[in-house]
Amino acid sequence: MQYEQRNPVPLPATGSYESVKATLETVFDWQYELRRQNLLSLYEKGKTLAWNANDLDWSTDVNIERMLRDRVANGLGPMMNAMLNPPQTLDDKRVMEFQLNMNAFMLSQFLHGEQGALVATAKIVQGVPWTEAKFYAANQVADEARHVEVYHRYLTEKLGLSYEISPSLNRLLDDIIEDPRWDVTFLGMQIMVEGLALAAFGVVRMQMADEPLIQDLITRVMGDESRHVAFGVLSLADLYRTEMTSTELREREDFVIEATHMLRDRLVPSPVFERLGWDVDVWTEWSNNTPFMRGFRQMMFTKIVPNLKRLGLLTPRVRAAYEKLDLLQFEHHKDSVEEPEAPPPQELVQILELFLKGTGSNGAAANGA
Ligand SMILES: [Fe+2]
Ligand SMILES: [Fe+2]
Give the pLDDT band of residue 365 (cuts 50, 70, 90).
Answer: very low
Task: Using a pLDDT cut of 90, give the percent of the chain over it.
Answer: 64
pLDDT, one tens digit per residue, over 135-170 is 999 999 999 999 999 999 999 999 999 999 999 899
Mean pLDDT across the chain = 89
Using the predicted structure, report yes or no on whether residue 293 has a pLDDT greater than 90.
no
Which one, of 257, 270, 265, lies nearest residue 327 by Cα?
Answer: 257
Nearest ligand (C-alpha, residue 189) = 2
Task: Report how far ligand 2's centroid is from the alpha carbon of 143 (Å).
Answer: 7
Q: Residue 369's pLDDT band (boundaries 50, 70, 90)?
A: very low
The Å distance, Cα 140 to ligand 1 centre, comes to 8
Distance, CA 296 to ligand 2 centroid (Å)?
22
What are the residues whose beta carbon lies below 5 Å from ligand 1 (ion)? 114, 117, 144, 147
CA of 119 to the centre of ligand 2 (A): 11
- Determine if residue 75 is left, alpha or beta; phi over 0 gives left, psi from -120 to 50 gives alpha, anything else beta: left
The continuous run of DSSP H or E covering 282 comes out as helix 280-289
Q: Say how many Å lie between the CA of residue 20 and the centre of ligand 2.
A: 21
Q: 52-61, 87-96, 240-249, 308-317: which has the minimum mean pLDDT?
A: 240-249
Q: What is the pLDDT of residue 336?
A: 85
* C-alpha 134 to ligand 2 mean position (Å): 15
Least confident stretch, 38-47, 154-163, 320-329, 340-349: 340-349
Alpha helices in 85-130 (DSSP H): 92-127
Smallest-distance ligand from the CA of 144 = 1
Question: Would you say residue 251 has pLDDT above 90?
Answer: yes
Lowest mean pLDDT among 27-36, 305-314, 338-347, 355-364: 355-364
Note the Cα 142 to chain centre separation in Å: 18
Residues whose beta carbons lie less than 5 angstroms from ion ligand 2: 117, 194, 225, 228
pTM as predicted: 0.91
The SS3 of residue 359 is: coil
Please check the confidence at residue 15 and state whether its pLDDT lies above 60.
Answer: yes
What spacing in Å lies between the alpha carbon of 112 and ligand 1's midpoint? 10
